[in-house]
Structure 1
Amino acid sequence: MLFRIITQSKPDPNLNLPPGPRKLPSIGNLHQLAASSKLPHQVLTDLAGKYGPVMHLQFGQISTVVISSPEAAKEIIKTHELTFFNRPENIAAEIIFYNHSDLAMSPYGEYWRQLRKFYTVELLSAKGVQSFHALREQEFANLCKWIASKEGLSINLTEKIGFTTCDIIMQASLGKKTDELSKFTNIANKCVELASVFNLADFYPSEVFTAGIETSAMTTNWIMVDMLRHPRVLKKAQDEVRLVFKDKGFVMSLRRAQVSKVSRKRISKDPSGFTDTFSKRKYGAM
């Protein structure tokens, strides 16, 4: 598995790639982001100063070209717009936005064009925006009054502005106020945060690390929980381990044939179903 990751993380040597820093096996240039105390965009700025406005980086299995000059950006955005129209896939955005079905993350095509048309014609047209003028005016007037009432006190203006904006959007969308602005705002902020940060699954699309670690750890946890809930099964497992290992003290002294024999014996004698823990439990995000 590790060999596969290392070989897949290497860019095609036949590609004419821009200059960039040296890549390490498997991780590429991820260490340069993770090991720095600076924010990712600051690290990229420093690297661009050394390797130029068009540089190549390798993030896990993802080959990346970083553009950091107005001229190069114009070439991408204007001249080759359709080629670079789609946003990079992001595992958090895929989950949060229902498989990239929102306007911002959906791939370019007929679905995106129809979605954009709906937004521009029905929601964000001049007439539509103007229809909520009174609502915006009232809510921001309330905000100003609240600020004035807190004269001489410390206030969290960022939070309050967020609540006000959320209130306007909720009323425009649903036609009424909500008493859960704080919860809704926190969820919205968390979604943006998750969709904006780097995730391991974004750099290793096969997700072998996540699957291996998460399922193994959770299976072990649930086995322990089930045994603690059923003292008879726990006592039986303890007796079997002590019988097999006796004074050996560690698993490495037990041959594979003995492990198989003990496993088969437990399955045949214990019909409680705990040997099927993995299929009984749910793992990962629901």
Structure 2
Amino acid sequence: MAELINNETLSLVLVAVFLVLLYKRSSSTSNSTKNSPPSPPKLPIIGNLHQLGSSRSPPHLALQALSQVHGPLMLLHFGSVPVLVVSSAEGAQAIMKTHDLNFCSRPKSTVFAKLLYNSNDVATAPYGEYWRQVKSICVLNLLNTKRVRSYCGVREEETKAMIKQIRDSKGVVNLRDMLMTLTNDVVSRVALGKSYYSDGGFKELSVDHTELLGSLYIGDYIPWLGWLSRVTGLDAKLDKVAKRFDDFLDVVIQEHMDNTDQKEEDQKDFIDVLLEIQKENSLGFRIDRVSIKGVVLDMFLAGTDTTATLLEWAMSEIIKHPSVMSKLQNEVRGVNKAEEDILTEDDLIDMPYLKAVIKETLRLHPPLTLLLPRISTQDVKINGYDIKANTQVIVNAWHIARDPKSYDYKPEEFEPERFLNANSGISYKGNDFELIPFGAGRRFCPGVQFATAVNEIALANLVHKFNWTLPGGVRGEDLDMTESSGLTVHKDDPLKVVAIPYSSV
């Protein structure tokens, strides 16, 4: 849901709509009742799809503007599908806590079905026994505290490699590229046993896969226009990328199966653990090859693009705010290190301002501005409104985190100090609905510990080892912070900077 229809698809949709209107009476499709949430006017056939914004106005901004007129609980129609848009902490709590069981399933998505093994992953699987089992595998065997800590050496090695690469670079550094390499290499080593991202083929494949996940498949909302995805080539692109990724994972899994060398427990990657579970069948649940590939793919999606994006936003904000940069550097540079040594995770334990900067970045720039959609499994009443079964739900986490009702002090500005003062008790771990970048309830992201560990060590070392300026003498205050459209919301222009090595001697 996070990406707009591209211009060609939108044009074809509108042409098709108007041709149909010449031949038959249009009728609006609605599940409205007298107690349904407020709705903006909708067009025949397409409903409110045209109000999702444009390439210069991402969906979370368009939905924010609509909600400011129609309220924090707003009913839209995407074609024939009713969609409840939630834009307040209270509404999010009702959906993800009070009525979590009723809203913890996922709607069917052709894009997810094609790219994520028919939703045989954790993030997009419908609620049920399969989802409970694979999530349990992830929480207990892949993403528990002990396992996450066991990969600290990988995170530190890859961070050190990034710092060296930046130091060896001449002139302007494309920091987005550096951060994408870091996160992909960390996750690749942890999930697959070795780094693949430096291989140009896999890098291209990874980018294509992530971009396609944000595609809007018109047939999911207007079934009789499903043919448009064949005409525009979207179907072919989805099938091609899915096949390439599947072939790649098949090779990697087979390599693991053919490797008879025994590894120590702290040397096992995710595929090792999953194959061991498959062989022992110790959970009373048969995990097959498709499930293994779906779970591993989730690890990439949750741990690479979103993490690199968060780090790019963090660096952009602290470059834009020199006082924040100075305060953060004073904290991290309180640890003396030789030039060739990096800050380790043990060095970061008592760094409250570093954690506040990351938390504030998650507040202003959640990588998934619109949380993955949910769907109601039965009729329910929310804040006095009747919500029908099979209504999709979109939670605008971006809007909620900027709501003056939640943050009365400069909610639109980057102020990490807020999390050291009045809002210090707010966490992003799913219990405080003013800040839900990782979701909440049963669908809370199980990879939050892993992502946080990468965020902290990378950001701490970037500001510890270098002073930062913008090329061409541009002032930090003038840095363009325009957002892009997509499943993951990046800074529209990659962050390009000049890194000046810092010496504590």
Q: TM-score range by the shorter chain?
A: 0.5 to 0.7
Report the CA distance between 1:93 and its aligned residue: 1.2
After superposition, residues 1-286 of structure 1 pair within 5 angstroms as 2=20, 6-7=26-27, 9-14=28-33, 16-33=35-52, 37-151=56-170, 153-178=171-196, 180-204=198-222, 206=223, 208-211=224-227, 214=230, 285=239
Q: Work out the CA distance in 2 between the residues paired with 1:59 and 1:83.
A: 21
Q: Which has the higher mean CA deviation after the structures are superposed, 191-200 or 123-132?
A: 191-200
Matched residues in 1 for 2:229 and 2:188: separation? 40
Structure 2 CA distance, aligned partners of 1:102 and 1:5?
42
Q: What RMSD in Å do the two structures reach over aligned CA positions? A: 3.0
Cα 1:139/1:81, change in 2 over 3 Å: same
Where does structure 1 lack aligned partners over 5 or more consecutive residues?
A: 219-281
- SS of the residue 1:103 aligns to: coil
Q: Is the 8 A contact 1:27 1:60 kept in 2?
A: yes
CA contact (8 A) 2:218 2:229 kept: no
**TM-score, with structure 2 as normaliser:** 0.39
SS at 2:227's partner residue? helix
Q: Do 2:219 and 2:226's aligned partners in 1 also have CA atoms closer than 8 Å?
A: yes
SS of residue matched to 1:27: coil
Q: Judging changes above 3 Å, is the alpha-carbon distance between structure 1 residues 88 and 189 closer, same or farther for their aligned structure 2 residues? A: farther
Is the Cα–Cα contact under 8 Å of residues 167 and 181 in structure 1 kept in the other structure? Answer: no
Cα distance change, pair 136–35 in 1 and its aligned pair in 2 (3 A):
closer
SS in 1 for 2:107: coil
Seen in structure 2, the aligned counterparts of structure 1 residues 90 and 15 have a Cα distance that, compared at 3 Å, is: farther
- Identify if the C-alpha distance between structure 1 residues 95 and 177 changes in structure 2 by more than 3 Å, giving closer, same or farther: same
Give the letter for the 1:125 counterpart.
Answer: N
Post-superposition Cα deviations, 1:42-62, rounded to whole Å, max 9, x if no partner, equal: 111111111111111111111
> Kindly tell me: are residues 72 and 5 of structure 1, through their superposed partners in 2, closer, same or farther at Cα, counting changes over 3 Å?
farther
The total of aligned residue pairs comes to 218
Comparing both structures, which one devotes a greater share of its residues to helix? 1
C-alpha distance 50-132 of structure 1, shift in aligned 2 (>3 A) = same
Letter in 1 for 2:110: I
Q: Give the AA of the match of 2:126.
A: P
Gaps of 5+ in 2: 1-16, 241-505
* Per-residue Cα deviation, 1:105-147 (whole angstroms, up to 9, x for no partner): 0011111111011111211112211222212111111111111
TM-score (ref. length: structure 1): 0.67
Structure 1 pair 24–190 and aligned structure 2 pair: CA distance change class (3 A): same
d(CA) in 2 for partners of 1:147, 1:213: 42
Contact 1:94–1:100 (Cα < 8 Å) also in 2: yes
Give deviations 1:59-94, integer Å, cap 9, x for gaps: 111111111011111111110001111233322111
- How many Å separate the matches in 1 of 2:197 and 2:216? 33
Shift of 1:285: 4.2
Matched-pair identity in %: 33
Q: In the alignment, residue 110 of structure 1 is paired with which amino acid? A: E
Q: Is the 8 A contact 1:19 1:54 kept in 2?
A: yes
* Higher RCO (CA < 8 A, seq sep 6+): 2
Aligned equivalents of 2:32, 2:168: Cα separation in 1: 65
* Cα distance between partner residues in 1 of 2:70 and 2:95: 19
- Distance between the aligned counterparts of 1:25 and 1:197, measured in 2? 23
Residues 158, 49 of structure 1: alpha-carbon distance in 2 compared, 3 angstrom cutoff: same
8 A contact 2:141–2:147 mirrored in 1? yes
Deviation at 1:191, TM superposition (A): 2.4
CA distance in 2, matches of 1:17, 1:160: 48
**Cα distance, 1:13 vs. partner?**
4.7
Residue 57 to residue 283, structure 1, CA distance change in 2 (3 Å): closer
2:41 is paired with a residue whose SS is coil
**Higher radius of gyration, 1 or 2:** 1
Query: 1:158 corresponds to which letter in structure 2?
Result: R
Contact 2:114–2:238, Cα closer than 8 Å, also in 1: no
